[in-house]
Amino acid sequence: MECGVSRRAFLSQSAMFAASAAVMPLSLGAIEPIQRAGGPHLRVGNCAYSYRDYLQGKKAPHMTLEDFISRMAETGIDGVELTGYYFPDPLTGDYINKIVRHCFLLGLDICGSATRSTFTLPPGEARDREIAHVKQWIDYSADMGSPCLRVFAGNAPQGVSEAQAQKWVVECLEECSERASEKGVMLALENHGGVTATPEGVKAILSAVQSEWVGLKLDTGNFHTKDPYADLAQVASYAISVHVKTETHYNRESKPADLKRIVKLLTEVNYRGYLNLEYEAAEDPLTAVPRTLRELIRLTS
């Protein structure tokens, strides 16, 4: 008398499982929505990018990163995201240490760093350069105590399917994540157009990446669709850091962002981390940024 299924049935089921496994991607180690303990906890920061015209010398007063950090200490926020574009080139360890000391004495976290990248590239020299650049910025981020580094995916090259371009992004993220894990720096992939222009594109990449050192840099102004808030809600649970924009885009129509709604959306997924203002609107940031930061502090208090 047989116990349970018969040998023939067992072999049949095993064959069916093996066949299905051959066509289904393995999910072991893939990025899942983040489960956070303790309820939501939101802190407010600001990106150096918000003052880009001053940091690049296009507007007066011209600013250095130190000037930017000092201004942020006057706003009552908790941290700054230091965009790589405004560091000197070459970047030295002495300069990084100077920035770290300045932030520490002013009571500001370096809550993130950011650099450019294009990962929608096939294997070859161009991709190798992008990966080397990101690995260098992982090292810089670790040196300055930044817990996460913002990176971009990129656009699908002409004649390349979006699925293929996303696969290349996954490969690049996985290679860079090895350095990230060594240095203790999370890679924060931003929804920044191209193959990450939709929540489906974002999830397709994140669900395929086999690394716990990659997550989402959720940018609240970068879904240009008929219902951007619904799109944000689809991927908010993957966020490890957030860019808050003051404008929301309904396809090609821009409207003022509903900051209260954004805060509510993030609290509903128990987000614990920084809301970094990334200001891009027309009003002068010298007046608009401090006012918006005060509103974010009020909404998150």
Q: What is the CATH number of the domain that holds 204?
A: 3.20.20.150
Confidence of residue 14 (pLDDT cuts 50, 70, 90): very low
CA atoms within 13 A on the CB side of 248: 18
pLDDT at 186 over 70: yes
**pLDDT value at residue 28:** 44
Report yes or no on 131 lying in a domain: yes
The phi, psi pair for 57, rounded to 5°, reads 80, 15
Report yes or no on 114 lying in a domain: yes
**pLDDT value at residue 32:** 87
Report yes or no on 87 lying in a domain: no
Rounded distance between C-alpha atoms, residue 44 and residue 266, angstroms = 13
pLDDT at 15 over 50: no
Rounded distance between C-alpha atoms, residue 196 and residue 153, angstroms = 7
Rounded distance between C-alpha atoms, residue 25 and residue 122, angstroms = 21
Query: Cα–chain-centroid distance for residue 58?
Result: 27
- pLDDT tens, 90-108? 999 999 999 999 999 999 9
% of the chain exceeding 70 in pLDDT = 90
**pLDDT value at residue 30:** 73
* Structural domain range at position 268: 110-300
Report yes or no on 20 lying in a domain: no
Report yes or no on 15 lying in a domain: no
pTM: 0.89
**Neighbour-count burial for 165-189, b at 16+ CB within 10 Å, e otherwise:** bbbbbbbbbbbbbebbbebebbbbb
Report yes or no on 157 lying in a domain: yes
Closest by Cα among 229, 228, 218, 196 to 276: 218
Report yes or no on 142 lying in a domain: yes
Q: 22 forms bridges with which residues in the sheet?
A: none
Rounded mean pLDDT, 17-28: 36
Report yes or no on 161 lying in a domain: yes
Total domains, the chain:
1
**Neighbour-count burial for 85-109, b at 16+ CB within 10 Å, e otherwise:** ebbeeeeeeeebeebeebbeeeebb
